[in-house]
Amino acid sequence: MTAASAFAGMRRVSPVLFKAGCPDCRGRFELAASALRLAIGATSRTTFYSFTCPECGSAVRKPAGERVVELLTGGGVRTLRLHSTV
C-alpha cells in the first residue's frame, strides 16, 4: 500500500478555534488550540484553562467545568493532569 492510497478519500480538517475574552483589557478574540492550556485537578476548583491575551499580554486563567473540559480536549488543547500529594 502506498502513502497516497492510504490517505485517499481523507479530507483536510480545518483547525479548531476557540472564542475567548480577556478580563483585563476586555478584548474578544479567537485562539487556536495551541494557544490554550488545560489543567485538570481533583476538584472543580483545581480544574482550569489558561492562555496569554494576544491583545494586552496578560496571563488569563479561567475555571473549566465538565462541558468546557470536553470541548477543549476534543479540540486538541494540551492537557495537564494535576495529581494530589495525599
pTM for the model: 0.76
| Averaged pLDDT for residues 16-42 | 96
Which contiguous run of DSSP H or E holds residue 74? helix 66-74
Is pLDDT at 80 greater than 70 in this prediction? Answer: yes
Is pLDDT at 20 greater than 80 in this prediction? Answer: yes
Separation CA 44–CA 18 (nearest Å) = 21
| Averaged pLDDT for residues 27-49 | 94
- pLDDT-derived band at 43 (thresholds 50, 70, 90) equals confident
What was the pLDDT predicted at 55?
Answer: 96
